[in-house]
Amino acid sequence: MFGGKKLTMPSKENALPGRATKMPLPATHFVNGHPFNPPYPEHLEQAMFGMGCFWGAERKFWQLPEGIYLTAVGYAAGITPNPNYQEVCMGLTGHNEVVLVVFDPKVISYQQLLKVFWENHNPTQGMRQGNDSGTQYRSGIYCYSDRQKQLAEASKVAYQSALNGAGHKEITTEILTAPEFYYAEEYHQQYLAKNPGGYCGLGGTNVCMPENLSVAN
């Protein structure tokens, strides 16, 4: 979670080649014991967020009181297939550190997840988050449906208005169709549950998300 100094995205020509082999995964989630490997139960939905150091970001979602089936950390929105942590930190994969959230939409809404996203990091910092600097620490929402994208865009407008009122800068969050999610190494998964005193560079703006977010069907 330290280092990462490249502040511009690599070109396809300059990106590392990666590999075809996927990262080995643990059998179960360290916190809740659910099976870690996909596919996940069909009634569940997925969300993906980048909000700086993925150790602390993942914890924000597994700590939600209900509706979360699984969280996982990984790499996404870059170029290099199946990257590893060292490669991502070099800034030559284009990937962001992200959290995959598998949730039950009948118990917790996507809007509630967006509230956690906006309120628990600073989305105005470009290619950094707090003391962590590099392209892998950028703010991002990666959407699995048109509905998610509509809600994400609407939430960005609403949160920008709230930030403006508190004197903050413009949001730099990227909102994209969800790219392939590459699972990070096993030792990164639920890292702060395994290491409760571990590093967490996550910090918000102390600005609350407006409660009246809605999008027409």
What's the pLDDT at 5? Answer: 59
Q: Is the pLDDT of residue 4 over 90?
A: no
Residues annotated as catalytic (active site), given as ranges:
53
Tens-place pLDDT, residues 117-129: 999 999 999 999 9
Tens-place pLDDT, residues 7-28: 999 999 999 999 999 999 999 9
Q: Is the pLDDT of residue 207 over 90?
A: yes
Q: Is the pLDDT of residue 214 over 90?
A: no
What's the pLDDT at 211? Answer: 84
SS3 annotation, the chain:
CCCCCCCCCCCCCCCCCCCCCCCCCCCECCCCCCECCCCCCCCCEEEEEEECCHHHHHHHHHCCCCCEEEEEEEEECCCCCCCCHHHHHHCCCCCEEEEEEEECCCCCCHHHHHHHHHHCCCCCCCCEECCEECHHHCEEEEECCHHHHHHHHHHHHHHHHHHHHCCCCCCCCEEEECCCCEECCHHHCCHHHHCCCCCCCCCCCCCCCCCCCCCCC
Each domain of the chain, given as residue ranges in start order, spans 45-194
Which of 3.30.1060.10, 3.40.50.1820, 3.50.50.60, 3.20.170.30 is the CATH number of 45-194? 3.30.1060.10
Q: What is the mean pLDDT of residues 172-185?
A: 98
